[in-house]
Structure 1
Amino acid sequence: MARLPYLQRSELPPEHQDVLTRNIAINQVLANSPGAARAFGDLGMFIRHRSRLDPRLRQLAIMQIGWSARNRYEWSHHVQIGRDAGVTRSDIANLAIEAAGIESSIDALARLVLRGAREMWEGPGMSAATFAALHDELDKECLTDLVVAIAYYCGVVRILATLDVEVEPEWQPYLVEFPLPP
């Protein structure tokens, strides 16, 4: 059970019911502070729907954070979202290989994105070498969007862990198909 209640739309005043347009567990918990939920959701929607960054690269970065954090909620949701964005089974297998410190067969740009996400997760930020290599491959807007996405999802997994948000039953099969390491 989450550390704060999972709220439903009917429990919110009409002016705040929109924070549960996507009625998923993280939003239900964040609805305990509608203003924070709205601000949090706005940045998330920019990252997922308005950024110019290639959706596959964005999802690989997000999935790397979920993997690195061993966060079941984040991982389960973004396995499916990643698939919808073009992430393949091979990409997921290669993410695990790269995370173990072994070079995989994933394309060079995706390898850089995964490395940058791991470096930002481990902190305090992406190394100068990785940033420079990504700067050679991405324009300034896409590179900024990548850094913002990684930083945002580093925060997301910490929110999920702190509030003890549970994986919804419909997302559980992704944890079976693509289990996180212990």
Structure 2
Amino acid sequence: METDETARVPLLDQSDLPEEYRYLFDEDVLGKLNLFRAMGHVPRAMQAYMRFGTALWNAGDLSTRERELAILAVARSCRARYEWHQHVRIGQEAGISVEELRHIARADDTPFPEREQAIMRYAAAVASGTVTGPLFEAAETVTDTETVVGLTLLAGHYLLTARFLDALSVPLDDPFAGWLPEA
């Protein structure tokens, strides 16, 4: 595990939070992540962030695999190591192969079906601020309006997360999986 010596803010422990927010570090072990240890300086916002993120995971009709493809596309687009690292494992659990991860890392979506391509391209464009009419229409064509709105919120949420982690120099929780993960 990397230390918090490189973080711009102290990484908090559960005992550092006000009593009414300590439960947040118990939920699915997420609170033990350095992301939340840094965010814990504003526990009310951390609580809202966690609830919002959970709601976005279920927005629209994206499958778990499609959601992870979108998150990984955002992480790659932003070169967000922390997010990429966290979602390599989650993505694999959702059925994304190491070879597919390597394609995403190279911004090569050619081996993916049309629906997944449109989702990844749209999510990356949201993160980079380059959404065009054709990209939006392609995503809406393979999903629906509710899903595209949810995908937009999801991509924006992970862009926010990437910028938060970068601005505060939040270290990875364990050694980096690498942009081109090994089998």
Q: What is the identity, as a one-letter code, of the residue corresponding to 1:110?
A: E
RMSD (Å) for aligned C-alpha atoms: 1.9
Aligned counterpart in structure 1 of residue 67 of structure 2, from 33, 58, 65: 58
Aligned length in residues: 172
Q: Is 1:17 matched up with 2:22?
A: yes
| Deviation for aligned residue 1:57 | 1.1
Q: Is 1:68 matched up with 2:73?
A: no
| Deviation for aligned residue 1:91 | 2.0
Is the 8 Å Cα contact of residues 56 and 87 (structure 1) preserved in structure 2? yes
> For residue 105 of structure 2, what is the aligned residue in structure 1?
96
> For residue 135 of structure 1, what is the aligned residue in structure 2?
140
Aligned counterpart in structure 1 of residue 116 of structure 2, from 110, 117, 124: 110
Q: Distance in 2 between matches of 1:3 and 1:108?
A: 41
> For residue 178 of structure 2, what is the aligned residue in structure 1?
175
Gaps of 5+ in 1: none
Q: What is the identity, as a one-letter code, of the residue corresponding to 1:112?
A: A
Moved over 4 A (4+): none
CA displacement, residues 37-84 of structure 1 (integer Å, 9 cap, x when unaligned): 111111111223x33421111111111111122222111100011111
Is the 8 Å Cα contact of residues 105 and 180 (structure 2) preserved in structure 1? no
Q: Distance in 1 between matches of 2:105 and 2:165?
A: 22
| Deviation for aligned residue 1:103 | 5.7
Q: Distance in 1 between matches of 2:123 and 2:139?
A: 12
Q: Distance in 2 between matches of 1:95 and 1:68?
A: 10
| Deviation for aligned residue 1:163 | 0.8
Q: Is 1:4 matched up with 2:9?
A: yes
SS in 1 for 2:12: coil
Gaps of 5+ in 2: 1-5
Q: Distance in 2 between matches of 1:20 and 1:109?
A: 36
Is the 8 Å Cα contact of residues 19 and 31 (structure 1) preserved in structure 2? no
> For residue 158 of structure 1, what is the aligned residue in structure 2?
163
